[in-house]
Structure 1
Amino acid sequence: MTVHIGAKPDQIAETVLMPGDPYRAKWAAETFLDGAELINEVRGMLGFTGTWKGNRVTIQGSGMGMPSLSIYANELIGEYDVKTLIRIGSCGGMQPYVGIRDVIVAMTASTITSPSSGIFREMNYAPCADYGLLAAAVKAAEARGTKTHVGGIYSSDVFYAERPDLDEQMVRHGILGVEMEAAELYTLAARHGRRALAVLTVSDHLQTGEALPSEDREKTFGDMVEIALEAAFA
């Protein structure tokens, strides 16, 4: 039991999926896991543990933004010895060929700053995914026929950004999408020798202004969850 996670040591699996939204964690656990049990509700950040095809899995909400994710990832790694952490969440598309409902498997995650920035000082550290997870996720997506893009994303520390010049450079340099958590997750995983990946669904687009209606998100996000689960246990 930690400050932010009320689960007992044996209630957290070695593989954890981390959506930002605690209610998305609840939906994913009830939809994809067998025997899912609530193992955390501290501060309303829900976590569930069950099995998927006989494999124990925890789905734990991480909150919004890198500072919040850092709290949960640090506690999952340091106190519960989690080995594999996969972010499942939404993102904004940035390239014209990236469509709404497409899945992005994040190879790298660029950022201006993160909770880990201070320890690197002048160095521009390049956070990246675990290659084994990434390759397995791509294979799973291809098998499902899901339109998938693999490459770099941008982890922003603000939701309401006012830097169109920065967006322009992201697009110019091939960044596929923007979200708010993956860069810190990848950094923490590297620091502690764990596996990490972000599998993201494009829910809106920065260039076209398109947005996925809330009632359509469940089915689309299901592809992302199953790809993450397949990758974790490939």
Structure 2
Amino acid sequence: MSHHIGAEPGQIAETVLMPGDPLRAKWIAETFLEGAECYSTVRNMFGFTGQYKGHRISIQGSGMGMPSASIYTHELLAEYGVKTIVRVGSAGSIQDDVNVRDVVIGIGAATDSSMNTNRFAGQLSYAPVADYGLLSAAAEIAAGREGTTHVGQILSSDVFYGDSLDTYKKAAEYGVLAVEMEAAALYTLAAKFKARALTICTISDHIFKNEALPADQRERTFGDMVEIALEAVTR
């Protein structure tokens, strides 16, 4: 039994969707899974396992930021035998043509975090990337649905309330689509444990335009992202 999840062996499926918000994990489980059962309430970071179209799927909250997401990702991969993790969360756009409500699928995750610098003792600028099979499946599924989807580079930041937007502006110049806070850690740990990982985000706000998705519209829009993820992992 792990320190932070606390599930018994066999309670967690080999495929996990991982939102940051534990209440969103609960909503996903109750909305999309059949027979969902809660396997963890440790620190109120809920985890559920149920069925989606005959496939066993777990939903596990990760908390905000790479330190928290790393804890849950590590325990899922190292202690529960999870083989696939798809992060489903929100992101802030830094491109003019990536708008609120759009979906972004992350090929790779640049980061301003020192986590990988420390991991590789400053000797390697590691480039964390998604699993190609999951990426291509999600992109194909999204292309057949209504709404706008972008596939490209994202930025995993350690800072939510920063003093300057200069780093984001520079990242945008180099083609980064959006900023979130977990993908780089997820992709790195998945590579270490030879697992599959993908990040799919709904654009909840635009960092440079001061636009944000109203709270009453988030569930419907986030639901589109979750369906793309579920269809991709069960293909």
TM-score normalized by the length of structure 2:
0.98
Partner of 2:47: 47
Tell me, which stretches of 5 or more residues in structure 1 are unaligned?
Answer: none
Distance of 2:114 and 2:106 partners within structure 1: 17
CA contact under 8 A between 1:70 and 1:115: conserved in structure 2? no
CA contact under 8 A between 1:18 and 1:25: conserved in structure 2? yes
Partner of 1:31: 31
Partner of 1:111: 111
What one-letter code is carried by the residue in structure 2 that aligns with 1:20? G
Could you tell me how far 1:116 is from its partner in structure 2? 3.5
Could you tell me how far 1:117 is from its partner in structure 2? 2.8
1:32-53 CA-to-partner distances (Å, cap 9, x unmatched) read: 0000111110000001100000
- Let me know the Cα RMSD of the aligned residues: 0.9
Residue 63 of structure 2 is aligned to residue 63 of structure 1:
yes
Could you tell me how far 1:114 is from its partner in structure 2? 4.5
CA contact under 8 A between 1:130 and 1:196: conserved in structure 2? yes
Partner of 2:134: 133
Could you tell me how far 1:82 is from its partner in structure 2? 0.2
- Counterparts of 1:1-234 in structure 2, within 5 Å, are 1-120=1-120, 121-234=122-235
CA contact under 8 A between 1:85 and 1:196: conserved in structure 2? yes
Could you tell me how far 1:74 is from its partner in structure 2? 0.5
Out of 109-118 and 90-99, give the one that drifted further: 109-118
- The number of residue pairs the alignment matches comes to 234
Could you tell me how far 1:192 is from its partner in structure 2? 0.9
Could you tell me how far 1:92 is from its partner in structure 2? 0.2
Could you tell me how far 1:122 is from its partner in structure 2? 2.6
Distance of 2:27 and 2:119 partners within structure 1: 36
Distance of 1:122 and 1:214 partners within structure 2: 43
Could you tell me how far 1:5 is from its partner in structure 2? 0.8
SS of alignment partner, residue 100 of structure 1: coil
Runs of 4+ residues over 3 Å off in structure 1: none
Distance of 2:60 and 2:22 partners within structure 1: 7
1:151-191 CA-to-partner distances (Å, cap 9, x unmatched) read: 00000001112232211101111110000000000000011
